[in-house]
Structure 1
Amino acid sequence: MSTDDFKPETWTIPSNEALKISLVSSAQDKAVQFPPSFTYPIYGDDETIFGFKNLVIHLVFDSVSFKPFINAKYDAKMDNTEDILKKLESELPTDDIVIKDENIWRDVCEVEESSYSLPRESLKVGEYTTSDSNVFVIYKAKLQEDPALSKLHRRMQIFSLLFIEAATYINEKEPYWEIYWLFNKKTKECLGYVTTYKYWNYNGHESFDSKAYQRTYRKRISQFLILPPYQGKGHGSKLYKCIYNSWKGDSSVTEVTVEDPNESFDDLRDLNDLDMLFKDGFFATLMDTIGIDNNIDSKWLQHKRKEYKLEKRQFERCVEMTLLQSQKLEVYKTHVKRRLYQKNFEALNDIPTEAEKIKAINSSFESLTDDYKRILSKCTFTDS
């Protein structure tokens, strides 16, 4: 035993570093490994594991069936340290995990892959081909509709904990959950999935009591996940557009919402919503509605928001970025500063002087404008 063995750091490792996630394809004889973004749902808020020297935890999935395999390796373990795999095991489907025995796992995966098939054609809602001639298919299903997809979801749902902040497992028995799945048509590999939920939209008793009443819903994207090996290749945008277009064309859907989006998804949504609005002619139409006083007809904006079924704040962002991109700078400045003033009215009242209030509004305006410019610089229509 050396003096290093008495140092706490010798026996301590960040759980994000210790956990190694792998997708293994036996058919293509390849494997890809990547780290998690978060491990606090499994190993605690500190995301730290104590009691092991040079610990490595392997969480491995077959890239087609997603049959899970877990194992841990280390040079030494302190006495009375709990089984390091127990916490990970508790987040995976019961009686569907292979622990430590890699040969058994490979045999099971080989059997499962030989009989694995894509979801039935009736669940298909989209398809696209990439520049390298690979075909990808999007399916939509409630978990109760397809036992195979239900099994796949139970195996894959741990990815939501590891890559989506504050994510929790959904209730499979709740009928309002629907999941969109993205598959490579040739290899049958699942690239990711999106959990969505619908809420009944109550428009008041007069509408509800009307003979012409039609029940309507607000649809929400909850967990949106493209697995790390497949990110940065446009799959997220294809999947988002498929979901948005299907909801926009559904008369029972009144609004498309997103639950607690992170920055990367905010960017994806902004880029795709702006692209949709540009191609639909919204940019040009918006310019025609600007009055001589630099105001935009609020009733027209409300009508367009309902037409596109975008939630209020998202539509406002798109309108403001449209004004900035169209070089209607005075209109943009007036529109944004007015909204910032209204949004922060109570906080501004606590600022003692008018000069300080103006400074605070200008600071928020400049910060927002810089972010809008960053997003617009990534838009493909800015090159045309």
Structure 2
Amino acid sequence: MEDAITARLKKLVSNSNEALEFRLIRDLDDLNSKEAVFKPEMTYQVFGDREIIFGYGELNVQLFYSAGCLETYLGMTYKEKVNEKCDGVEADEVLTKIATKLAPNVHYSLSNFTNSLSKDETFIPYGELKHSFSVNDQGAKRQFVVYKADMNYKGFKEYHQRVQTFLLWYIDAALFIDLDDDQWQYFNLFEKYTTPMGTTRYATVGFATVYRYYAYPQHIRPRIAQFLILPPFRRMGLGTHLLQTIYREYIGREEVKDITVESPSEVFQRLRNYVDALNCSMLPSFEPENLRQGFSDKMIIEARDHLKINKKQARIVYEILRLRATNVANPEEYQAYRIDVKKRLNIPFKRKQNEELKIERALKNVNKGTYTKENGLPSDEQRKEILQQEYEFLEEEYKMVVKRLEYAVDL
């Protein structure tokens, strides 16, 4: 049995995902409203792989932001704290660990933070308005805007330093970008709302960063590096609007070769697939009768020329739209679709197999027939099983996109 001291210390271990809470403060009521609270999806980038905080009982860590310009408050409360003299161990320096990741000028006094909320009264998004739209949220009409900015706008650097801190809690292996590199462009999404007093305010919703890579000989290849919609604003279709705004910014430019994405998460890839499929469905080569004939050069050309989609992504879009056009109740039609997708999935294995055969022949010549085949490739039966699993996962992903396409509206 564990002794009383060990049992007590175990009670002073907190899950950092549960202990940390965020709020976007629009008015003083949000400081106490449970509805204003949202949680991180991960905290390992601050508190380590185990995502725990030691030394406090009933710990609550508060990271509040003013809704518009993101003035920041950091504080914590607890009922009990480990005593170094009595227990022989120290409590974790919680605020210090978080503060090193935040932008300068954090408020540690709640009263100072509440005083700073008045800055939102005059806050206007930085940059150039690129898109304005409204959504129906449970019967209420809400207005949103997307602004494109860069570091030439006075005050924008300080704003971005604050908004990028959300990446730590929602993007795996997040890194802050080099703000002095002028090839970065920034797309910021806000809710435009009216206060009870009738004044217009802007609240931060999310953002994306795009890097303009050089492409030989005189082209650029914009790459979406970061893309985040904050939790209180998800499942409203806002990510689609933000991504379409980015596309519209670059699609019409002759110097743009294609638009790519850096290490997309599953969630973002699903969004990208949906938006690209929605856009490609309006191209002649992606009409249902053409889809059933297989992936074609015409699809590659149209997706590239009209939408700046590269060949790899165009193939994925083709598979999604062909599934949509396939009568899965028809055995022959459905089988033709599955075979077509599996052929594409099997290409890396075939390539690896050919490489192994080349090595095998070369070694046989060197060793004059004494070479024994030992490679890491799965057997044909194992490969069929792996291929089926890959296909089943992919089809489920595609079905989610297809289902969403049925309810799509023009943006």
TM range, smaller chain: 0.7 to 0.9
AA aligned to 2:134 is: T
The whole-number CA distance in structure 1 between the counterparts of 2:27 and 2:391 is: 53
Structure 1 counterpart of 2:390: 364
1:352 deviation in Å?
Answer: 6.4
Task: Please give the alpha-carbon distance, in whole angstroms, between the structure 2 residues aligned to 1:248 and 1:28.
Answer: 43
355-364 vs 265-274, which deviates more? 355-364
SS at match of 1:185: strand
Partner of residue 80 from structure 2, selected from 62, 70, 76: 76
Structure 1-normalised TM-score? 0.86
Q: CA deviation at 1:82?
A: 4.7
Corresponding residue for 1:92?
Answer: 102
Secondary structure, aligned partner of 2:239: helix
- Cα displacement string for residues 32-74 of structure 1 (whole angstroms, at most 9, x for unaligned residues): 1111011111111221111222211110111122100011111
Larger radius of gyration: 2
Post-superposition offset of 1:237: 0.7
Name 2:182's counterpart in structure 1.
175
CA offsets 1:94-136 (integer angstroms, 9 cap, x no match): 2x1111x2111111222x123322335xx11111122344322
Q: Deviations over 1:304-358 (max 9, x none)?
A: 3422322333221111112221115354234212212212225667556544444
Counterpart position of 1:212:
none
Aligned counterparts of 2:335 and 2:92: Cα–Cα separation in 1:
64
Conserved 8 A contact 1:98-1:104: yes
Q: Give yes or no for contact 1:58–1:71 (8 Å, CA) kept in 2.
A: yes
Tell me: CA distance 1:271–1:365, structure 2 relative to 1, closer, same or farther (3 Å). same
Secondary structure of 1:253's match?
Answer: coil
| C-alpha distance in structure 1 between counterparts of 2:148 and 2:16, whole Å | 34
* Aligned-partner residue type, residue 226 of structure 1: I
- Classify 1:54/1:44 alpha carbon distance in 2 versus 1 (closer, same or farther; 3 Å): same
Cα distance in 1 for partners of 2:190, 2:385 equals 51
Distance 1:55 1:289, change over 3 A: closer
Q: Give the corresponding residue for 2:7.
A: 6
Matched, 1:200 2:220: no
Letter in 2 for 1:52: Y
Q: Quick check: 1:105 aligned with 2:113?
A: yes
How far apart are 1:140 and its partner, in Å?
Answer: 0.6
SS at structure 2 position matched to 1:116 = coil
Cα deviations by residue, 1:5-45 (Å, 9 ceiling, x for unpaired): 63442111111111111111127767511110111111112
Deviation at 1:296, TM superposition (A): 4.1
Q: 1:105 to 1:5 in 2, by over 3 A?
A: farther
Of residues 255-264 and 334-343 in structure 1, the stretch that sits farther from structure 2 once superposed is 334-343
Helix, strand or coil: the match of 1:46?
coil
Q: How does 1:226-245 map to 2 (within 5 A)?
A: 226-245=229-248
Unaligned residue ranges in structure 2 (runs of 5+): 85-89, 194-200, 327-332, 357-375
The answer to whether residue 109 in structure 2 is matched with residue 116 in structure 1 is no
TM value normalised by structure 2: 0.80
C-alpha contact 1:61 1:69 (8 A) present in aligned 2: yes
Structure-to-structure mapping, 1:314-353, within 5 angstroms: 314-327=313-326, 329-345=334-350, 350-351=376-377, 353=379
Letter of the 1:306 partner, please give it.
Answer: R
**1:86 alignment partner AA:** T
Task: Give the fraction of aligned pairs with identical amino acids, expressed as a percent.
Answer: 25
